[in-house]
A and B are shown apart, each in its own frame.
Chain A
Amino acid sequence: MATISNTASAEMTEAGTMVLNMGPQHPSTHGVLRLLLEIDGERVVRMVPDIGFLHTGIEKTCEAKFYQQVVPMTDRIDYLCPMTNNLCYVLAVEKLLQLEIPERAQFIRVMLNELTRIASHLVWLGTHALDMGAMSVFLYCFREREDILRIFENVSGQRMMTSYFRIGGLALDPPLDFFDKVRKFAAIFPERIDEYENLLTSNHIWVVRTKGVAKLTTEECISLGVTGPPLRASGVDWDLRRDMPYSGYEKFKFKVPVSTEGDVYARYMLRIAELRESIGMVKQALEGLPSGPIKTEDAPKVVLPDREKMKTQMEALIYHFKIVTEGFPVPAGEVYQAVESPRGEMGYYVVSDGTAKPYRVHMRSPSFANLQALEKMCVGKLLADVVAAIGSIDIVLGEIDR
């Protein structure tokens, strides 16, 4: 957090510029982001992002929890893509334990992750358009997001803080009507994307506000650690789902959209293309869904037993009691697991010292790194374009501050 002396004042500086305070309570900073802007007329001379308003010490809290108790904390890091964070954490711990996950669980994980990506992109699209003055897009986007949240509620009992993935598999087999609901959504969604595109893609005001604005070159992206859609919009063909597959992504066919323009419009077009690819993957997961168990069966000390087994088998009851009261020890070591979140490379670095509680959990959040590129995007440009730039990197302050 910045010092008090950095606060804004209406007084002019010696250089004839003005320091303007934007946020932390500002509707278009998408959370509690504070920007200190030094402006010369309408031009931005300097920009200092000030973060930390949402710092809750999640990394520290994780050290005091059992491995399985950390899962609900991961939702709260990025509340727009809870499943992505759940997945990344459980994959990291599964890597530490070297667990094999049944194929059915992997397919459901991929399906839910792609739905999460759609839901997250819809919030981005709605709020980004809202920032630029296109009010109606928001209403359309939230209509479909609501469908996805209902699907999440159906499968996990929660709309946003799902915590549905478990170390070793899933919490429960999805309810019987879940797949019908997903199928129904997958059938209508492609034409809904056309609806959003009708509102924006060739809308003159939208194009003028976004084309050529907040450009980033390939070199700038790499050196500033930018990942996800902004990186691909600047011409880097890199997607962790394809290039370093996890959770069975190698079994899915999808294109990775890439653009070389590197401006706000390119990022918009790229995310729209990602929506289409994601819904395609949801369909593939529905069609190819194998039957079988939803959690690994050869690790009784890690995975909670079925309710039925607990009532009939003494051993299962003991394991259940042990896991809940004492957790399970994880062999010492350190792993870094990264997944492609809607915002970029989400990475979990988990260090184990051989006990039932993680020694250290660190989240490499994409927004944290992407935010560093904001200054590059805005300096020398118009003040009005700052709002477009913030929207186009799609930051979530929850994962920046953790």
Chain B
Amino acid sequence: MSNSGNIAPAITDINQLKDHPALAKLLGWKTDAVTAAKFDRDELTVTIDRAFIRDACNILKPEFNFMSDITAVDWLPAEPRFQVTYHLLSHKLKERVRLRVMLAGDAPVIESIITIWPAANFFEREIHDLMGIRFIGHPNLSRIMMPEDWEGHPLRKDYPVEGYR
């Protein structure tokens, strides 16, 4: 009955999606960097290998000039556990692209993109604070929301919603 059954299946075949400007650019640069791509509900998600995220942002910057948002998702107990999500926007093409990078649960570390977009500063600090992901190359990776002496990272799934730990 519910029309939630009408959702078109996601396209996950890179060959079908390679005409999208963001993916075309990335594939033209380095096919190894793109590990997966998905087109779901009119939004393109490109999974980037952890080692290439900074370069991938650099490659996309001429077209996708605006960094809207960075955030993270905790997929506990799955492994790789953490997903860092970047939302880039192109003012020229009026399009968005979502980059995602999967990180291992034991020591989640990723390169900072603060030199490409200084806007990443607060966003990366927030993820560091609430998810406990380290950004290499960030000049001031300190807590931003929680007090400096706080223990734990509240947005992780093993952190309780209420009560004492």
Contact = CB atoms under 8 A, between A and B. Distances in A.
Interface of A: 1-4, 51-52, 55, 57, 59-61, 63-64, 95-100, 222-225, 236, 238, 243-244, 296, 298-302, 328-331, 333-336, 338, 345, 347, 349, 351, 359-360, 362, 364, 368-369, 371-372, 401
| A-B complex: 4 closest residue pairs judged by Cβ atoms | A225-B119, A364-B69, A301-B2, A362-B71
9 contacts: A1-B148, A4-B148, A60-B154, A334-B40, A334-B85, A334-B98, A336-B69, A360-B74, A368-B123
A299 B2 CA distance: 4
Contacts of A51: 144-145
B147 A347 contact: no
B27 to A, nearest CB: 22
Interface of B: 1-4, 6-8, 10, 40-43, 45, 65-69, 71, 73-74, 85, 87, 91, 94, 96, 98, 117-119, 121-123, 130, 142-148, 154-155, 159, 161-162
Contact of A97 (B4, B74, B155): B4
Contact of A351 (B1, B73, B87, B123): B73
B149 to A, nearest CB: 9
A347 B161 contact: no
Contacts of B69: 336, 347, 349, 362, 364
Given A61-B161, A333-B10, A300 B71 contact: no
B145 A52 contact: yes
B6 to A, nearest CB: 6
Given A61-B161, A333-B41, A336-B43, A302 B2 contact: yes
B94 A222 contact: no
A299 B155 CA distance: 32
B120 to A, nearest CB: 8
A349 B87 contact: yes
A362 B94 CA distance: 22
Nearest to A338: B68
B2 A372 contact: no
Contacts of B123: 368-369
A232 to B, nearest CB: 12
A47 to B, nearest CB: 13
